[in-house]
Chains A and B, each alone.
Chain A
């Protein structure tokens, strides 16, 4: 399983470059608008040996793991908050979020800073690949072999030459928030009710 993945991966990288070349040729010939229309640009990253993608428009930047501050009373997958140039941004361990086995931070670990609507959140991932151009017509609805716990957060699966990429639904991922719903009921709520 492991070996095959890496094998596929290397080839696909090369293939992807071919796609890019083709795109470059295309854009020279006609205008870039066609390219934009037909392809979706996604940031590809590895999580638990699988390739995932996030729409590039939702990605603000990618940083190396930095020191973070633990926030009490948050869901277990919330690592804490970081300081990104004066902004306080929560960081989510995407492995834990999807219920995969936790993996300690290593040299490849990266945090993808997401800016989606009014949300600003960082996702800790195993490794960043690169920006892929996924042909829109190749994107298919979520296949049944996607684990149930993450199915909800998957927008679709993009088929690239010899490689597939699971595209994440950011909206759905962020919607639930990271605060722990209090068991005791916060006192403030009680006051409001009374």
Chain B
């Protein structure tokens, strides 16, 4: 099997596993306990927090550990919306149409059950949110704006720094989902200028089930998981010590090896994009060529059932994914495909090929040999 779905998840780096291992059983204490068992665990969590803070170029107390990127998105948006409504009466939440469901579904929930008003910002045909669109949409009663750093389906990198500048001028809270971006792009929050930023470890060779929310000091936020006073009273629940240690180690390695990683995947990605567009008729790249995650290639094929293509690929030994992927046989074009204006005959036929550190040039070559025939098969079976 050839795994080409690193944007879905990555294998945990053995060095990360090694760092995590002592905290399952040897040093199993609860960080909140007074005794020395607790102190050892607490020290591990706080050291992890410092590591993460140093990569993000922020203070340790601005880092909250959560259970995943989706939880970070929830805490950021619900927390900021409630706090801003209480503080200023602001009722509007703004987000781009191409956001991850962890953002869009959370906002729909806030709209339905909490009476917030949502404005969806258009993206261009490459999935890009421009500072101009943001500037024309925000107003005094905007509670928070959410724009993802990089798009999971089509790899588009948004101009986060420029958008943050617009928000800063108008004094609007700005959240960015950086779950996909963190594996390859710098996540220096001072340089980016965001107020809130979500990360998840399993996209960069860390374990599933642990995330981070960066909260700029002074950002009003209300907890939505109540209980003990963990994580600065903002996220109750005994800290998942081994996974938090794993998060920090994975992020540290990602930051340290960023250059090698980018230079490994980017040429392979370019080979995938070039090969697919050259050999397959009625194929197009979704998302931009520039301003694109370096490991990310995504396509739309006209008149192809994307789900069927994934099935054919899997049976042929290639693990990929699709914007319309659905394990229950009910394919619909994703919101992202709709947001970038693809018609249904293109939008159902999306394919995402994402590479990682284990991907080799030989993997890419066999994939490029196999894909044209499989696309043709999928078209015939339709």
A and B, one complex?
Answer: no
